[in-house]
Amino acid sequence: MAYNLECTALTKSFGTIRALDNVNLQLEKGKIIGLLGPNGSGKTTLLKAAAGLLTPTTGQILIGGHQPGEETKAMVSYLPDRNYLNNSMKVSETLDLFEDFYTDFDRAKAEAMLDSLHIDRSQKYKSLSKGTKEKVQLVLVMARRARLYLLDEPIGGVDPATRDYILNTIVSNYAEDATVVISTHLITDIEPVLDEVLFLKYGQLVLHSTADQIREEHGKSVDEYFREVFRC
């Protein structure tokens, strides 16, 4: 059985800088995984490589046993750390777009989520506030029945009340055979929903453990342990 995400000696260099350095990992289905590390540790690079936006320098990355391509893009739901929607589109048009291209997109669910967040579907994307834009993107991404969710800072730009809603959405929306990878600095907020944790440091994977294991072995929360490992 193929892993939802598998990296073998994955290395990505930008000139002389190694953004990812010999990363080996396997992520199983049915887990929510926190991808944690300080700025510049390679979190976004790893997610982008899995989404097919970067070509690895050496090594291999597989999604459901396949190399990034048309097939894997149909099973990966990726939320980048920026606004990637066409500004001239209306919110309803972005729903049309996702419905057209992703067979696993559940429009009814997306509309229900937009209504819960009080987002007017007739509004143009460019007229929305920064936080609302992020909410729209998250709704689109989470309304898919994907096999692998890659969420880069999904709660970074929203208020605490919306954070709870988003985290609830993530927990309640992913299917049993799916894997959710969340990259964030807001560890305390996401800690309750995490099954596993990945620590990246200077592009290297320094820890892959369950959240319970960290708490049991170190007697600390994931957030406290993170602060200890990455103390400046």
Partner 1 sequence: MLGKLLKYENKTLSKTLFPLGIGVLLIALFSSLIMKLNLYLQDQANEFVSKLMGTTTVVLLVFSFLAIFSAAFIAVFLILQRYYKSFFTDEGYLTFTLPVKTHELIFTKLISSLLWSLFVTICVMIAVALFALFGTTQALLNQEVANGARLLLKELGNFFTVYKGTAVFLAFEFLLVGITSFCMQFLMFELAITLGSIVAKKHKILASIGMYFVVNFACQSINSILTIFTLPALLLNESMQFQPDEPQTVALFLILPVILYAIYTVVFFLINRYLLKNKLNLD
Contact with partner 1 (CB under 8 A) among 23, 63, 102, 226: 102
Of 146, 134, 139, 110, nearest in space to 184 by CA? 134
Which residues share a beta bridge with 7?
25, 61
Q: Are 135 and 162 in contact (CB under 8 A)?
A: yes
Q: Which is nearer to partner 1, 60 or 86 (CB)?
A: 86
Contacts 24+ apart (CB under 8 A), 65-70: 65/2, 65/3, 65/6
Q: Which is nearer to partner 1, 38 or 80 (CB)?
A: 80
Contact with partner 1 (CB under 8 A) among 83, 123, 210, 221: 83
Q: Are 110 and 140 in contact (CB under 8 A)?
A: yes
Does the footprint of partner 1 cover residue 17 (CB under 8 A)? Answer: no
Question: Closest separation between CB of residue 163 and partner 1, Å?
Answer: 23
Q: How far is CA 115 from CA 85, 118, 181, in A?
A: 19, 5, 26
Contact with partner 1 (CB under 8 A) among 76, 113, 136, 182: 76
Which amino acid, one-letter code, is at 104? D
Question: Closest separation between CB of residue 87 and partner 1, Å?
Answer: 9
- Strands 204-210 and 17-27 come out as unpaired
Q: Which is nearer to partner 1, 146 or 167 (CB)?
A: 146
Q: Which is nearer to partner 1, 29 or 144 (CB)?
A: 144
Which amino acid, one-letter code, is at 97? L
What is the phi/psi pair of residue 198, to 5°?
-115, 130
Window 165 to 194, contacts with partner 1 (CB under 8 A): none
Question: Closest separation between CB of residue 70 and partner 1, Å?
Answer: 5
Span near partner 1 by CB under 8 A; candidates 34-42, 71-79, 105-113, 164-172: 71-79
Contact with partner 1 (CB under 8 A) among 5, 78, 143, 211: 78
Decide: helix, strand or coil at residue 228: helix
Q: Which is nearer to partner 1, 32 or 51 (CB)?
A: 51
Rounded to whole angstroms, the Cα distance separating 116 from 24 reads 40
Window 51 to 70, contacts with partner 1 (CB under 8 A): 51-55, 70
Interface residue list for partner 1 (CB under 8 A): 14, 48, 51-55, 70-71, 73-74, 76, 78, 80, 82-86, 88, 97, 100-102
